[in-house]
Chain A
Amino acid sequence: MAEFLAMGGYAPYVWASYAVFFVVLALDALAPRAQRKRVLAELRGRLKRRQSRTEARR
């Protein structure tokens, strides 16, 4: 296991590469989720405002 982690002396380069790969791709997948939540919340707010306006008019 220690030998595997050492990567023949190239551990910092190899593991840093894999860390960048995983972190960037995880962010790439998480970003749309956050954006989706934001878009839906915005939409809900707009719909609520419109509804309270129509109710006030009655």
Chain B
Amino acid sequence: MNALTLWFHKTGSPPTFYRLAGLLLPWCYGIALLLGAIGLYGGLVLAPSDYQQGDAYRIIFIHVPSAWMGLFAYFFMAANAFIALVWRIKLSEVLAMASAPAGAAFTFITLVTGSLWGKPMWGTWWTWDARLTSELVLLFLYLGVMGLYAAIEDRRQAARAAGFLALVGVVNLPIVHFSVNWWNTLHQGSTVRLLGPSHIDAAMLWPLLLMAIATHLWFFGTVLARTRTGLLELDGGKDWVRAIALGPEMSAVAAPAATERTHG
């Protein structure tokens, strides 16, 4: 095995990843809160109001980052599901299933904030156009993956079945992304573009980008937290989990079991 494969196997082993995730977690949450606070101050206080939408446009600072996260989380989930299906890596199964609830949360926020933004701007809470409908399908895909994972008793089989569903649902991602270009819709086109100039003033752009980074970090925080729990559940019978479950306050009970094992 070369050094990279070795490193990969070591980091991917449940006890190592559990420890690593525990170290990264507080940083993810902490930096997310810090950047989020700065971003929201920039967006709600410093940025000027929009010449057309007044202050209602300020919903953009949570709506757009959440929408990006809904797509990113799906991509992350599908990539891990693919690795899990092809190489049967346990950690990837857990990571894929851990990203589903977080992605669903962001997609839900996108739909609700979009609705709250649509009412004053378009005059309607909801319309069955391409962007909104494909975003709703995205939420249902997340819920389908979570439901399927919960419905099957064997955890690894459940992860494989739900991962397969997640992969099939990837078809929806380009539909969500390009729907505003492919169809005529009430929803406005992309404001921020990776290629070419963005249609947004710098005073509004930097809070938006900070919020995007903050939501990414928050996503990784909750995914790592869920992955830790998922690994505990999956490796329930193993020594490293037993040591955590019996923890410091239970060490008196754990001690005889430990000596038994060394003798055996």
Contact = CB atoms under 8 A, between A and B. Distances in A.
12 contacts: A8-B54, A8-B56, A10-B56, A13-B56, A17-B63, A17-B117, A20-B109, A21-B109, A25-B109, A43-B232, A47-B245, A48-B253
A36 B232 contact: yes
Nearest to A6: B55
B3 interface: no
Interface string A12-24: 0110111011001
Interface in B121-162: none
A29 interface: yes
Contacts of A13: 56, 59, 116-117, 119-120
Nearest to A48: B253
Interface of B: 29, 44-45, 49, 54-56, 58-59, 62-63, 66, 101-102, 105, 108-109, 112-113, 116-117, 119-120, 218, 221-222, 225-226, 228-229, 232-233, 236, 241-242, 244-247, 250, 253, 256-257
Nearest to A28: B105
Contacts of B247: 40
B55 A7 contact: yes
Nearest to B58: A14
Contact of A20 (B56, B113, B232): B113
A39 B242 CA distance: 12
Contacts of B101: 28, 31
A14 B218 CA distance: 22
A14 B113 CA distance: 8
A4 B45 contact: yes
A28 to B, nearest CB: 4
A16 B116 contact: yes
Contacts of B105: 24-25, 27-28
B113 A39 contact: no
Nearest to A37: B229
Nearest to B244: A40
Interface string A25-54: 101110111011001100110111001000
Q: How large is the interface on A (under 10, 10 to 19, 20 to 34, 35 or more residues)?
A: 20 to 34
A9 B121 CA distance: 13
B109 A51 contact: no
A10 B54 contact: yes
B87 to A, nearest CB: 25
A21 B67 CA distance: 12
A8 B253 contact: no
A7 B246 CA distance: 52
A49 to B, nearest CB: 12
B55 A28 contact: no
Contacts of B244: 40
| Interface-centre pick from B62, B247, B257 (highest chain A CB count, 10 A) | B62
A17 B112 contact: yes
B36 to A, nearest CB: 9
A17 B59 contact: yes
Given A14-B56, A36-B225, A51 B257 contact: yes
